[in-house]
């Protein structure tokens, strides 16, 4: 009986929110938690730095990356349906052109739409003068 009463007191403390026992969850679609700067989400490729060498392609454990022609140059294309988000491509990039953004809401309706071509992942780094 004493043990149960002790437990009841603990839960009552939570009901009354005594002593740092506040609600911790967030109302997800309306408010989001901040992701860490190192968060490994969707990839982004620096348009100016990428040389299309394909080192990311060889380093990818799951054949996620393919080098495709985009305009006049070659860029990686990511099939995020297969991606492990391990970050080995980022580690391997010799030009430091790849990075992973904090974007994590990647669910989609078809497999095809999970293939992120250069048109969706390229970004231009702002050059400080």
Partner 1 sequence: MITNPNAYDLIVAILNAIGVYNIILGFFQEQGMEYLLRIVIVLVEIAVVLVFVLLTVMFLSWFERKMFAVVQSRYGPMVTGPRGLFQPIADGIKLLGKEDIIPATADRWIFTIAPYIVFVSVLLVYIPLPFGESLILSDLRVGLLYIIAISAITPISILLAGWASNNKYSLMGAIRAVAQDISYTIPLAITAIAVVVFVGSLSTVDIVNAQQGYWFWIIPKWFIFLQPLGFILLLIACIAEMGRIPFDFQESEQELVAGFFTEYSGMKFAMFFLAEYAHMFAVSGIIVTIFLGGWTGPAIPIIPIQITSLIYFMIKTYAVIFFACWLRDTVPRVRIDQLLHLGWKIMIPLALLNLLVAAFVVTAGVI
Partner 2 sequence: METETLLLNMGPVHPSTHGVLRFKLRMDGEIIRDCQIVIGYLHRGTEKIGEMKTYLQFIPYTDRLDYIAAMPNNYAYVKAVEELAGVEVPQRAEYIRVLVMELNRIVNHLVFMGSLLLDLGASTMIMYGFRERENALQLYESLCGARMTFNYIRPGGVREDLPDGFIPKLNEFIKDMEKRIVDYEELVNGNEIFLMRMKNIGVISAEEAINYGMTGPSLRGSGVDYDIRKLEPYSIYQDLDFKACMRREGDSYARYLVRVEEIRESLHILKQIVDKLPEGKTINQRYNFAPNTGAPSAVTSYFPRIFTPTEGEVYSRIEAPKGELGFFVASDGTTKPYRVKIRSPSFCNLVALPKMVVGLKIPDLIAAFGTIDIVLGDVDR
Q: Which residues bind partner 1 (CB under 8 A)?
A: 4, 7-8, 10-12, 14-15, 21-25, 27
Strands 43-46 and 122-123 come out as: parallel
Task: Single out the residue of 66, 81, 85, 106 in contact with partner 2 (rule: CB under 8 A).
Answer: 85
Size of residue set near partner 2 by CB under 8 A: 36
Q: Which is nearer to partner 1, 27 or 63 (CB)?
A: 27
- Contacted by 129, from partner 2, partner 1, none: CB < 5 to 8 Å by type: none
Six token digits for residue 26: 């967030």
- List helix spans (H) across 2-127: 2-16, 55-59, 88-92, 118-121
Task: Single out the residue of 47, 49, 82, 117 in contact with partner 2 (rule: CB under 8 A).
Answer: 49
Q: Which of residues 61-80 bind partner 2 (CB under 8 A)?
A: 61
CA distances to 4, 6, 31 from 41, rounded to whole Å, are: 45, 44, 18
Strands 98-100 and 43-46 come out as: antiparallel
């Amino acid at each position: 009986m004493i043990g149960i009463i002790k437990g009841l007191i603990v839960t009552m403390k939570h009901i009354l929110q005594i002593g740092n026992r506040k609600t911790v969850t967030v109302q997800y679609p309306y408010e989001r938690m901040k992701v860490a700067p190192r968060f490994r989400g969707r990839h982004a490729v620096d348009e100016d730095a990428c040389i299309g060498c394909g080192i990311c392609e060889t380093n990818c454990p799951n054949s996620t990356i393919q080098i495709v022609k985009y305009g006049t140059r070659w860029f990686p294309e990511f099939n995020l349906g297969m991606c492990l988000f391990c970050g080995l491509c980022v580690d391997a990039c010799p030009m430091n052109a790849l990075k992973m953004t904090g974007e994590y809401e990647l669910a989609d309706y078809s497999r095809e739409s999970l293939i992120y071509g250069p048109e969706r992942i390229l970004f231009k780094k702002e050059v400080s003068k």
